[in-house]
A and B are shown apart, each in its own frame.
Chain A
Amino acid sequence: MLASAAIRHEDLIACPSCDNLTAIPALQHGDAVFCRHCNHPLTQYQHNAYDQVIAYAVTTLILFVIANTSAFLTLQATGSENLMTLPGAPLAFYERGMPVLAFIVSSVILTLPFLHTLLVLLVYVPLKLGKPTAWLILSGRLVFIIAAWCMVDVFLIALVVSLVKLRTMATITLGIGFWAYVGFAISFTLMISHIDRLQCWRAIDALMNPGPRTLKPPPDPLTHTQATEAKGS
């Protein structure tokens, strides 16, 4: 059986990197847990995470709409000028016969970050309100699958590189859309940094399966250990 008899089955998580079991009980604000064997960061608990995540998600969505609809960058040289919008970047590939590249770029900088933010709201608003909803589990899974494919921060660096490349060739005017995108990228990154997989799933679990645990008083440690052992064997 497990090393310490007092460990509860539902507190255990296995490290995704090395499969080492760690018992993570209820945490305090700011507590971070690392795997003892491979140092993998397992979780970081933030007690006010819901409010912050929802606030950043709403900001992100507003700035996303502004960034996509306003003038992004304008290039001027020898009397003529060209205005570029944000969706124009992946569209440029499509217009030149590279639809696959257009699809990849538009997905990782626009579609997936937008979807991710919407799904974050679909998960965190019910969690905040304490209302179980039918889509909670599906959106919870999608949030973490999509997160790996969002490249908002990479595109921000690409913008800086492009501006430096062009500085000797032409005059560039930064539009409202550009600044909205910078804000969007910062807000999106802050939102992601406040989302913790373990905390999120434990909250979803508690909401979807209230069960007898929350209704009954906490069980006596001795009987609980026996129950855990019976389950494990």
Chain B
Amino acid sequence: MSHQTAKSQGLVSCHECYKVSPAGSHLCPRCHAHLHPRKTASVQRTMALLITATLLYIPANIFPIMITSQFTDAEPSTILGGIFILVQMEAYPVASIIFIASVIVPLAKLIALYFLCWYATRGSTANLRQKTQLFRIAEFMGKWSMVDVFVVSILVALVQLQGIMGVEPGIAALSFSGVVIITMIAAESFDTRLMWDRLAAHNNEVFTDTVADNTPL
């Protein structure tokens, strides 16, 4: 099946209102957004943000996300420690929500975006439909990682009884929300159309059969 892209037809699509305009237009005639055939420096920007997020992920897991105090005991807990406490309380559904949102989702999103950056520049052009689907899931799931940060904000505001019990936020809350926000921006800078462009370029090469095949498959 031929893949008729806007690019191959000399058109550029507006990312904000979906209107297609002739290639070379700078402003969308419908919504006045700046038009780009592809997102600017997509892979470079996404990679830079991913590396930043990966570095922030380390303090987010080492340092306590909150410090719970009861009478005179102060007990700091990390993200994983908090999940362990929930398991001890036998609150399994909630423990699994936090485990999925704070551990699996950010890690899976980081790994998925690294892989997609690889496939947007080199690597196989097979199963693009699944890879595009993977990106959409990663993009959709990203914001759910904020659950743990919100829980800390609720507990800090609510659990304040002078001298009896209190909750203080830890520095990991800041690093972790940094991880979430930065991976969201990374997903926004990534352009899945780059993967499809590589497939189109590859198909053209095979079809015309004139260029020496110098792209390893």
Question: Which A residues contact B (CB, under 8 angstroms)?
Answer: 2-3, 9, 12-14, 16-21, 36-40, 42, 73, 75, 77-78, 80-82, 84, 88-93, 96, 98, 100-101, 104-105, 108-109, 137, 140-141, 144-145, 148-149, 151, 154-155, 157-162, 164-166, 168-170, 172, 197-198, 201, 204-205, 231-232
Contacts and interface: CB of A to CB of B under 8 A. Distances in A.
Given A98-B174, A144-B16, A77 B165 contact: yes
Contact of B158 (A82, A164, A168): A82
B173 A101 contact: yes
A80 B149 contact: no
Interface string B89-126: 10100100110010000000000000000000000000
Given A3-B4, A82-B161, A157 B147 contact: yes
B150 A154 contact: yes
Contacts of A151: 143, 146, 150
Contacts, number: 212
Given A140-B17, A201-B19, A19 B153 contact: no
A21 B8 CA distance: 10
B9 interface: yes
B151 A198 contact: no
Nearest to B150: A158
* Centre residue among B11, B32, B162 by max chain A CB count within 10 A: B11
Contacts of A159: 150, 154
B57 interface: no
A151 B184 CA distance: 12
Interface in B113-172: 128-129, 132-133, 135-136, 143-144, 146-151, 153-162, 164-165, 168-169
Nearest to B193: A19
A198 B18 contact: yes
A21 B19 CA distance: 11
Given A16-B15, A80-B161, A98-B169, A39 B150 contact: no
Interface in B1-54: 1-7, 9-11, 13, 15-20, 22, 30-33
B128 A18 contact: yes
B7 A19 contact: yes
Nearest to B168: A96
A155 B42 CA distance: 31
Nearest to B2: A3
B146 A154 contact: yes
A155 B89 contact: no
Contact of B177 (A3, A104, A169): A104
B159 A170 contact: yes
A88 B101 CA distance: 24
A35 B92 CA distance: 39
A84 B158 contact: yes
A168 B89 contact: yes
A82 B155 CA distance: 11
